[in-house]
Amino acid sequence: MKPEAIQLLSNAGLFGPVIIVPLILQDVLGADKNLIGLIQGSFAAAGFVSFYMFGRAADVHGRRNILLMGLLLSGGATVLQVFSLMGGGLAMFAAVRVLVGFCSGMFPAALVAYVYDMKGKMGVFSAFGAAGWAVGNITVGMFGTFYEGAYVFSAAIIFISFAIAWTLPFPKEVRMEVPLFPVDLIRRNAPVYSAMLIRHTGANMIWVTYPLFLASLEAPPEWIGVIYAVNGFGQFAFMFLFDRPDPALLVAVGLVSSALTFFTFTLAGNYWEIIPSQVLLAFAWASLYVGSLRYVMDRNKEKATASAMLSSTMSISGILGPMLGGVAATAMGFEGTIWIATGASVVALVIFVYELDRSGELYRLRIRSRGPA
């Protein structure tokens, strides 16, 4: 269970603070929604570069050193975020936020590939990442406006995950040649990469100002953490169920339920009413993410690179979504961004099904669903 513990603690430390970043930028540092979107997009841009660089490095040079270096530097960058709050101002906070984004992308692909090499279950492993988000969100929310304390807590648990990673055995270190730009790998996984890019861009248009949306529904800071945690704990529960269904089917179900989830956000009149939507969101993302991860891991020998490209695709969405979301929220309000995200999920579903049909994968799924004659 050591990899699962690393997954839980590192996710809690790195992504628990996501609920306070827009609040710090707006309420403490005076940033407007457009600037919040730009900073969040820059965080994702740093992750995009890092995911790919170090995912490929984990295939070429081995998993262990990449994993340890990424966790150690992630903890150090989170400590710097504390100092940026203690008097660094907006520019320093934003710069350190970008550094955290880069460091957070260094180790995940190495960890995922290690688990796959050791015959671990992707759904179970992913579930502990979701639990980490939930634990981090709810704990950070309990700090209220004591943001420095929240970051000290986050740094501490990242360093604990580093200590656990130091004790991992690596009996099956895999090294292989991977092109600097793996065109064939991208082509093989195009259905999932393109669907994730479109759906997640729409989703990130919502997430960039989602804590502010919840605050507009009169949710206090501690309840914002609880609402996020409902999603995280829901993902934890659902992901345990998704190691057996066909990955392509899981992706399609995730896209359909994403569109439905985003639509339900428009129906909420107060923060209590958003909680059922968080449960549906948990199902949607659990299905989409586990399906996508299993899809690329099962079809490629370059495990770390393939999973890193999936993460990089999500990071591109994290660049485009916040930037577009900040503008859309300013021009159209929160509800406008929600409608755009709903449409994006529908478009992603259409493209995914088309790509499956073009490759013959859809025919295989139809035959499999009928069972033996």
pLDDT at 367: 57
pLDDT at 364: 62
pTM: 0.82
Half-sphere exposure of residue 174: CA atoms within 13 angstroms, side-chain side: 20
Average pLDDT over residues 353-372: 67
Q: Under DSSP, is residue 14 helix (H, G, I), strand (E, B) or coil? A: helix
Please, which pLDDT band fits residue 365 given cuts at 50, 70 and 90?
low
- DSSP per-residue codes, 106-132: TSHHHHHHHHHHTT--HHHHHHHHHHH
Query: In the chain, what are the domains?
Result: 2-165+182-370 (1.20.1250.20)
pLDDT at 225: 77
Question: Is the pLDDT at 333 greater than 50, yes or no?
Answer: yes
* Rounded Cα–Cα distance for residues 276 and 281 (Å): 9
* Rounded Cα–Cα distance for residues 212 and 20 (Å): 10
Taking residue 34's Cβ as centre, other Cβ atoms within 10 Å add up to 15
* Rounded Cα–Cα distance for residues 220 and 224 (Å): 6
Average pLDDT over residues 102-131: 92
pLDDT at 373: 38
- DSSP per-residue codes, 304-321: HHHHHHHHHHHHHHHHHH
| 72-92 tens-digit pLDDT | 999 999 999 999 999 889 999
Please, which pLDDT band fits residue 144 given cuts at 50, 70 and 90?
confident
* Rounded Cα–Cα distance for residues 116 and 124 (Å): 12
Please, which pLDDT band fits residue 38 given cuts at 50, 70 and 90?
confident
* Rounded Cα–Cα distance for residues 312 and 194 (Å): 12
Angle at 143 between CA 140 and CA 146, to 5 degrees: 115
Candidates 133, 307, 162, 335; CA nearest to 234 is 133
* Rounded Cα–Cα distance for residues 39 and 355 (Å): 34
Question: Is the pLDDT at 237 greater than 80, yes or no?
Answer: yes
pLDDT at 75: 98
Chain mean pLDDT for the chain: 89
φ, ψ at 360 (rounded to 5°): 90, -5
| 161-178 tens-digit pLDDT | 999 999 999 876 777 888
Q: Under DSSP, is residue 372 helix (H, G, I), strand (E, B) or coil? A: coil
Question: Is the pLDDT at 71 greater than 80, yes or no?
Answer: yes
Cα-only R_g, the chain: 20
Provide the token pair at 286: 């659990």
State CA 212 to chain mean position distance. Answer: 20
C-alpha distances in angstroms, 301 versus 89, 118, 218, 311? 46, 14, 49, 17
The answer to whether 161 and 71 have CB atoms below 8 angstroms apart is yes
Please, which pLDDT band fits residue 372 given cuts at 50, 70 and 90?
very low
pLDDT at 29: 92
Provide the token pair at 342: 């709903």
